[in-house]
Amino acid sequence: MNRRTQAFAVGITGLALTLSACGGGTGGSSESDGGGKVDSIKLVAAEYSDKTQGFWDAFAKTYQEKTGIKLDVQVVSWDDIDQQSSTMIQNGNPPDILNLNAYASYAQDDLLYSADDVLSPEVKSDLLPNFVTSGTYEGKLYGMPDLSSARALFYNKDLFKDAGIKAAPTTWDEFAADAKKIADLGDGVAGYAEPMGPEEAQAEFSIWMFNNGGNWKTDGKWSINSAANVETLSFLKKLADDGVTQNNPGKTNRTDGAFADFAAGKAGMVVGFSPLAGTLDESKKVDYGVAPMPTNNGDEPKSYGVTDYLMAFKKDGNADAIKAFYDLYYQPDQVNTFIKDEGFLPVTQSGVEKFSSDEKLKVYLDTLTGVQLTPTDDPKWDTVKLAVQQKIGAAVGKDGDPQAVLDDLQKQAESGN
Amino acid sequence: MTDQLDASAGAAAPPAAPVARSPRFRRRRHESGYASGLSAIPWLIAPIVLIAGVVVYPAIALVQASLSDYSITGLRRGSAGFDNYIDIFQHDDLGLVLWNTLVWVVVVVALTILFGLGLAQFMSKEFRGRTVMRWAIIIPWAASLVITARLFTLILDYEHGILNQMLVTLHIIGEPIDFLGNDSWVMPSMILVGVFVSLPFTAYVLLAGLNAIPQDLIEAARMDGASPWRIYRHITLPLLRPAMLVASVLNLIYVFNSFPLIYTLNDRNPGFTHDTSITYSYKLAFKAAERSVGMSAAMGVINVLLILVVVMIYLRIIRWREVTQA
């Protein structure tokens, strides 16, 4: 009898312990007693390369030495980060700082601190103005840029020589003619590697769009199916129809498709950015040049820029810790080390000055102040971007209809709120 | 004949059993103490907590999520009623996705069982290097599915793929084939990989089944002059049925839920053209313009129901055959 009650008691205790452990697990953020100040904050960062973890670990150490607050770092691959962040918010347990390529939906959901709460004025005034603009939602800066990239036309010098091309094309007509000459060399070489597959089709389309005077939004209204944009997409389709691109551009991704082709010397041209240059320099297989994009309307060449964001989630008592985080991150020796490690471009004036001595980065830095970005300040863009990724590839396929695809995307962008 | 034997044995057993068993039970009760329901609780706690945490809680959470309205960030806005289910049923691509799922599951399971039978027969024979071969067959199963799928994207790729290079060099085809991009090749290519990764497990289950078949039955048939094919059809195959049942039901579920293969091999194709219901559900939440956790959860619930129904129908059919054949 005694044994039975004993066993029962053990069982109940076990159950209780397990349940309370579960409860503790979902609580997450560790708030210390008393003044409502946190003693640790959590950063969820995107993995740009295998150097990312190392940087943030070192950063966390410095941060803790300076502030006495622990910084938990979780580095997540780009493939998983949308899913992970969404799950954390679903469970009511967001990180304190999240590094992502979008922020406007989070600002719309009123989850974020604005720069007014957590960014020192000196830091804010050092940020490049076009990144401040893209990080501003309804008049307040929510998306603090962590790094940036700008794109340009990469060309294979050997293939250019074989095809008898003297200089990089500056107009679309020249571009199409040069691509044809390279494709005519045969041996499975493509004139232009055109990645319109789901990985990053919006980037490929953006840079061509900008160089034809088009844009995603014009004067605050969606202009996806504008005449200029239909012309741009038709041009990209014609390149595919004429057989001067790689096989099936609507189903080619950037990283393992277009970049891989170019790096293997199988493509004459590709739109690339500094990390691609890093890869090419390392393998030394392809002798390449970098030139501004060709344009179709006689304007100055435009570059397409991307910046990712470090956004801060509102939670009790974490404002000071977050402010200290940003103060440290935007110290020139932190932010610029990170950017240099990853092979990207600066987001601050002081960064541009620091990097301007680097010959290799000059071609991008020159474009950086005038770089055009996608409308990341509109929460709707967060879904339009996905629709573009999943749909625009079909437009450059054999039976693709650029007008119909862009009309469809325009409709999608205008629907709902 | 066997049925009759079974029946008579069964009829004879009941009267004998209590006499034989009761003393043994009584003795054991004295040795180890009587196990009451209450004292079993400590031993059951771990499994119960595990089942509650790993099966019941996620299932409840899934159903709750499917009835909720979520912002793109993952923030719950409120209840959605059955809107997510309505959205799913009105979705333009649902029909295509279900058709893909059907083709994928039926063809992969059928081919796997077919090749599995051959492979198991082969493995059951004595020959030099059999151990090496048995190990070699296990490897595709032991490797992570994502890695296997990545390897196959390298093999099947249009530009750099080894397979295309080989076929072109051997003049079997003139032009390379876009195995993972050409709409008529994507599903066959995925099925090939699906069969490749399902074979090892299936072959081993069937091998175990083969080894359990008494040799004297086959010997007897051979003495009666039955041809090898006849022996296989009338003795081996019927006696393999339990193993085949296990293999096909487990494969049905395994292939149906095969996310990494389809997701990785299909990652270059926009839209839902080659998705099955599992990757469809994931894309609805994180990759497609819907970006809706609620719709994805609704599809998740539908997926669970779908596979349950399919397995139940399948088991029903199998049992029905047993009854009609006996």
Q: List the structure tokens of A237.
A: 């389709």
Q: Which of A90, A108, A389 sits opposite B270 (nearest CB)?
A: A389
Q: How confident is the model at residue A79 (pLDDT cuts 50, 70, 90)?
A: confident
Indicate if the pLDDT at residue B263 is higher than 90.
yes
d(CA A262, CA A270) in angstroms, rounded, equals 7
Compute, in degrees rounded to 10, the torsion defined by CA atoms B116, B121, B126, B129.
Answer: -20
Instruction: Say yes or no: A314 contacts chain B, CB-CB below 8 A.
Output: no
Task: Give the residue with greater pLDDT, A360 vs A336.
Answer: A336
For A152-302+380-414, which CATH class? alpha beta
Q: Please judge whether B159 and A197 are an interchain contact, meaning their C-beta atoms are less than 8 angstroms apart.
A: no
Q: List the structure tokens of B54.
A: 């790993």
Count up the domains in chain B and report the number.
Answer: 2
Q: What is the pLDDT of residue B136?
A: 87
Q: Please judge whether B159 and A246 are an interchain contact, meaning their C-beta atoms are less than 8 angstroms apart.
A: yes
Q: What is the pLDDT of residue A13?
A: 42
Q: Please judge whether B181 and A393 are an interchain contact, meaning their C-beta atoms are less than 8 angstroms apart.
A: no
- Tell me: the pLDDT tens digits for A209-225? 999 999 999 999 999 99
Q: List the structure tokens of A98.
A: 């999240």
Q: With contacts defined as CB-CB under 8 Å, which chain A residues touch B176?
A: 247
In this structure, the strands spanning A136-137 and A140-141 are antiparallel
- Asked if residue A351 lies in contact with residue A151, where contact means CB atoms within 8 angstroms, the answer is no
Three-class HEC string of A325-375: HHHHHCCHHHHHHHHHHHCCECCEHHHHHHHCCCHHHHHHHHHHCCCECCC
Q: With contacts defined as CB-CB under 8 Å, which chain A residues touch B182?
A: 248
CATH number belonging to the domain at A33-149+306-368, selected among 1.10.10.10, 3.40.190.10, 3.30.10.20, 3.30.70.890: 3.40.190.10
Indicate if the pLDDT at residue A137 is higher than 90.
yes
Q: How confident is the model at residue A6 (pLDDT cuts 50, 70, 90)?
A: low
In this structure, the strands spanning A70-76 and A40-46 are parallel
Same domain, residue pair B19 and B147: no
Positive or negative: CA dihedral A99, A101, A103, A106: negative
d(CA A371, CA A129) in angstroms, rounded, equals 11
Q: What is the least distance, in Å, from the CA of A233 to any CA of chain B?
A: 16
Q: Which of residues 333-392 of A touch B (CB under 8 A)?
A: 379, 382-384, 386-387, 389-392
- Asked if residue B168 lies in contact with residue B225, where contact means CB atoms within 8 angstroms, the answer is no
Beta strands in chain B (DSSP E): 68-70, 76-79
Q: With contacts defined as CB-CB under 8 Å, which chain A residues touch B45?
A: 11, 14-15, 18
Contacts of A278 (CB under 8 A, 6+ apart): A343
Three-class HEC string of A254-276: HHHHHHHHHHCCCEEEEEECHHH
Q: Quote the domain boundaries for residue B139.
A: 94-274
Contacts of A39 (CB under 8 A, 6+ apart): A30, A31, A32, A68, A69, A70
Same domain, residue pair B7 and B136: no
d(CA B264, CA A155) in angstroms, rounded, equals 30
Q: Please judge whether A105 and B287 are an interchain contact, meaning their C-beta atoms are less than 8 angstroms apart.
A: no
Q: Please judge whether B73 and A109 are an interchain contact, meaning their C-beta atoms are less than 8 angstroms apart.
A: yes
First to last CA, chain A: 67
Same fold, A33-149+306-368 and A152-302+380-414: yes
Angle between helices B237-256 and B94-124 (to 10 degrees): 140
d(CA A213, CA A207) in angstroms, rounded, equals 10
Q: With contacts defined as CB-CB under 8 Å, which chain A residues touch B286?
A: 82-83, 86
d(CA A122, CA A120) in angstroms, rounded, equals 5
Q: List the structure tokens of B20.
A: 């034989």
Q: Please judge whether B74 and A86 are an interchain contact, meaning their C-beta atoms are less than 8 angstroms apart.
A: yes
Same domain, residue pair B6 and B104: no
Inside any domain, residue B64: no
Q: Which of residues 243-262 of A touch B (CB under 8 A)?
A: 246-248, 250-253, 256-257, 260-261
Instruction: Say yes or no: B36 contacts chain A, CB-CB below 8 A.
Output: yes
Q: List the structure tokens of B16.
A: 């004998």
Same domain, residue pair B26 and B157: no
Q: Which CATH number characterizes residue B129's domain? A: 1.10.3720.10
Q: List the structure tokens of B169.
A: 């060099």
Q: List the structure tokens of A158.
A: 């050997």
Same domain, residue pair B137 and B16: no
Indicate if the pLDDT at residue B12 is higher than 70.
no
Indicate if the pLDDT at residue B283 is higher than 60.
yes
Total residue count of chain B as it appears in this document? 326
Instruction: Say yes or no: A17 contacts chain B, CB-CB below 8 A.
Output: no
Q: What is the least distance, in Å, from the CA of A352 to any CA of chain B?
A: 33
Same domain, residue pair B257 and B166: yes
Same domain, residue pair B8 and B153: no
Q: What is the pLDDT of residue B13?
A: 39
Closest-CA residue in chain A for B64? A90
**Which range among A69-73, A277-281, A359-363 shows the weakest confidence by mean pLDDT?**
A359-363
Same domain, residue pair B187 and B258: yes
Which of B119, B121, B150, B151 lies closest to B136 in space, CA to CA? B119
Q: How confident is the model at residue B325 (pLDDT cuts 50, 70, 90)?
A: low
Q: List the structure tokens of A329.
A: 């991150």
Q: Please judge whether B268 and A86 are an interchain contact, meaning their C-beta atoms are less than 8 angstroms apart.
A: no
Contacts of A366 (CB under 8 A, 6+ apart): none
Inside any domain, residue B45: no
Same domain, residue pair B17 and B165: no
Same domain, residue pair B26 and B130: no
Using the 8-state DSSP alphabet, how is residue A80 labeled?
A: H
d(CA A62, CA A328) in angstroms, rounded, equals 9
Buried b (16+ CB within 10 A) or exposed e, A235-249: bbbebbeeebbbbbb
Same domain, residue pair B18 and B115: no
Same domain, residue pair B23 and B127: no
Task: Give the residue with greater pLDDT, B289 vs A362.
Answer: B289
Instruction: Say yes or no: A264 contacts chain B, CB-CB below 8 A.
Output: yes
Inside any domain, residue B204: yes
Domain ranges of chain A: 33-149+306-368, 152-302+380-414
**Region A95-102 average pLDDT:** 95
d(CA B237, CA B241) in angstroms, rounded, equals 6
Q: A interface mutation test: which of B38, B68, B159 has the most A CBs within 10 A? A: B159
Closest-CA residue in chain A for B269? A251
**Which range among A7-21, B33-47, B189-203 shows the weakest confidence by mean pLDDT?**
A7-21
Q: Which of A109, A250, A412 sits opposite B71 (nearest CB)?
A: A109
Angle between helices A319-329 and A332-342 (to 10 degrees): 70
In this structure, the strands spanning A190-192 and A152-156 are unpaired
